[in-house]
Amino acid sequence: MKESDIRPNEIFDEFLLLASKDILKYFSEPGEIICCPACDAKGDHAFTKDKFSYRECASCKTLFVSPRPSEESFSRYYQESESSKYWASTFYKATADARREKLWKPKVQLIHDILIKYGSELYDLVDIGGGFGIFGEEYEKAYGKRVFIIEPGPDLAKACREKGLEVIQSFMEDITHEQLSDGPKNFVSFELFEHLYDPKKFLTHLFHLMKSGDLFIFTTLSGVGVDIRVLWENSKSVSPPHHLNFFNPKSIRLLLNRIGFEVLQTSTPGKLDIDIMSNNTQFVNDRFWKTFLYQATQEEKTAMQILIAECGLSSHMLTVCRKP
C-alpha cells in the first residue's frame, strides 16, 4: 500500500490548505496551557505549526497541543468549517473505493479476529466517530452483525444513514446509557483519538458506559512513529487543528491504566512510514534515513517497514483494552 492510495496529494493538500484558513476563523483565542494528557507531567515546547504550539512530555514522550483553544472552538470547527465539509464530501468520496479495499476490508477482518480471540464476537458493535460509515457497512456485510454509529458531524452522520446504518448524531462524551443497546458491547474507534480535546474525559465517560468485560479497540497515531519523529513539524500527520494528541505504546498504557482499563495489547501494525518519508525527502535531515531512502531497493524498504512495525515504532498504533 502507498500513501497516495488513500491520501492523494492534490486532494489532501487542498484539505490542509482549507484547514489553515479555518484556523484563522475558529481559533483566534490564545488557549489554555495543559499538562501531558497521558501522565500530567509538564511538557517542553517542541515546535509551532499553523499557530498551534506542540509540546513533548519529557517523561513519556507524548506530543500534544498546548496552549489548547476552547472545546467550543473545536466543536464549531468540526460542525461548520469549510475544511470539515470538504473532508466529509470531496475527500471521502474521492478516496472511498481505495480506502474500502486497502483499509476497511482488512480492518474488518482484523477487528473480527481480535473479537474472536477475546471471545466477544457475538457482542453488539459500536463505532465511535464512524465517519463515512464504510467500516460499519463492510462489517455488517461480512458478519451480519449490526453496527451502531456514534458520529457528531452532520454531513458524515447523513452519509452513514444513507448506508442504512443506525446513527446517534452526538459526541461520545454526551452519550447516555439509554441511547445504547442493553447487553455486552464492543466499542471501536479508528483515527479518532488524536482529535480528542480531552482524552481523559473521553475515556472516563466511555468507561462508565461500558459493562464489565466490554472491549474497546482503537487506532491512533503514535508520536514515536518513525515518520513523525523524522519529519517532525513537517509531517502532514501533525496537522492542526485536527491532530492534538500523539500518544505512543508506553503512554497510552499509562493513561488507560489511570482510568481503570485492563490493557490487553498494543502494537504498531503500520505500513506507510517508509513510503511517507520517501514522499517527503526534502524534509528528511537525519543522515541515516536520508542515505537509506536514497539507496534502498523496494524490497529493502519493505523489510525495514516490517521491522519498524514489529519494534513498535510505526506511527500507526492499535490498542485493545477491556473494562475489568
171 inside domain? yes
21 inside domain? no
8 inside domain? no
Count of domains forming the chain: 1
23 inside domain? no
82 inside domain? no
Digitized pLDDT (tens) for each residue of the chain, 324 residues in all: 677 777 777 888 899 999 999 999 999 888 999 999 999 998 999 999 999 999 999 999 999 999 999 999 998 898 889 998 888 778 877 787 888 998 899 999 999 999 999 999 999 999 999 988 999 999 999 999 989 999 988 888 998 999 999 999 999 999 999 999 889 999 999 999 999 999 999 999 999 999 999 999 999 999 999 999 999 999 999 999 999 999 999 999 999 999 999 999 999 999 999 999 999 999 999 999 999 999 999 999 999 999 999 999 999 999 999 999
36 inside domain? no
228 inside domain? yes
For β-strands 166-168 and 245-246, DSSP reports them as unpaired
Partners of 216 in beta bridges = 187, 321
Q: What's the pLDDT score for residue 30?
A: 81
14 inside domain? no
Question: Please, is 285 exposed, middle or buried when counting C-beta atoms within 10 Å of its C-beta (0-12, 13-18, 19+)?
Answer: exposed
Predicted TM-score (pTM) of this structure: 0.93
Which residues have CB under 8 Å from 47's CB, separation 6+?
Answer: 53, 54, 232, 233
Q: Look up the domain containing 224 and give its range.
A: 98-322
Residue 175, domain CATH: 3.40.50.150
